[in-house]
Amino acid sequence: MNILRVLLTATAALALLSACGQETSVQTFDGGPTPEPPESSAKDFGDYVLHFNGISTDQLQPEVAREYNVTRSKNRAMLTVSIIRKEAGTIGVSVPGEVTATANNLTGQLKNLTLREIREGDAFYYIGDISIAHAETLVFNVNATPENTTNSLEVRFLRQFYTD
């Protein structure tokens, strides 16, 4: 089992647990899509499913962080995104694409976020990391276009990070 799939599965479980009992309202600064519920880590777009998550990089295993050149720190968060094309009789096929993302805190401050593609066998992942402050909530806006299509898959989601 590849390391990044284990990581994505674990982060999805952590996101579900951390969102229990929390209600979050958010101002949308740019009129983008309505944010996904806090427990969401995937959105279905018909032929494609977009998987996404944000975690504190200190949750990464040291060898995973080293392999993907990510600094482990309570003061850094990592965004992960993957595009899965639905294929009958399978769990889907990971596909490459053009993926961009922005992150803002709730005061509207833009956080610099650059994604890079990770290819691991037949799997494609997009990751990027940014600095965070204690109890900071980030609004992630992700736009993904699967290769050889004009389909734009857009998702907005929130994650709150604790550094203490």
Dump pLDDT digits (tens) for 48-95. Answer: 999 999 999 999 999 999 999 999 999 999 999 999 999 999 999 999
Say which CATH number the domain at 15 has: 2.60.40.3340
Q: Which pLDDT band, with edges at 50, 70 and 90, does 105 fall under?
A: very high
Dump pLDDT digits (tens) for 146-158. Answer: 999 999 999 999 9
Q: Please determine, for residue 46, whether its predicted confidence score (pLDDT) is greater than 80.
A: yes
Q: Please determine, for residue 134, whether its predicted confidence score (pLDDT) is greater than 60.
A: yes
Range of the domain at 65: 3-161
Q: Please determine, for residue 18, whether its predicted confidence score (pLDDT) is greater than 50.
A: no
Average pLDDT for residues 98-121, to the nearest whole number? 95
pLDDT at 2: 53
**Closest to 136 (Cα-Cα) out of 151, 115, 158, 152:** 158
